[in-house]
Amino acid sequence: MPKLKKVVVCFTIALAGGMAMAETDLDAALKNGGERLGSDQIAELLIGHVVTAKSGEKMFRFFYDPNNVISGELTNGGWKGTGAYAITDTDQVCVSMAADKGRYRCLTAVRHGNVVQKFNAGGKMTFELLDFEPSTGL
């Protein structure tokens, strides 16, 4: 039995060490020269702008109203939605679309040249923000 405990402890330590070493998309972006944006920078880019964003092969447009309402659409049709957003004092933008039923998803923004990437809480890249144009709506 003591030998089995030793094996289990060694396996647990090895597994934990392997998980700690796994690099996320966010880690890679920062390591490759990305700049993590602060709350003021996020607000300047988003509030009062229509943002063209890419997620996988899908292209979206989102409008970040100054009253914390977000509206969005797929550029080729098939989806439109509204929700709420907030920019936190911990340098994240949090979004809750109607389908989220009140749950906010908070994202970290990182700039690479002219592109801003958004990363979820697990460090996975979810959107690339490609264009920002001042507007009063979609």
- pLDDT, tens digit, for every residue of 43-56? 999 999 999 999 99
Q: Give the rounded percent of residues in the chain with a pLDDT score beyond 90.
A: 78
Cα–Cα nearest to 53, from 118, 121, 137: 118
Reading the block at residue 31, the tokens are 């390591």
> Is 0.85 topped by the overall pTM?
no
Tens digits of residue pLDDT in 64-105? 999 999 999 999 999 999 999 999 999 999 999 988 888 999
Helix, strand, coil share (%) of the chain residues, nearest 5: 30, 45, 30
pLDDT score at 99:
87
So what CATH class is 24-134? mainly beta
First to last CA, the chain: 66
Tens digits of residue pLDDT in 5-50? 554 444 444 444 445 568 999 999 999 999 999 999 999 999 999 9
Question: How is the chain split into domains, by residue range?
Answer: 24-134
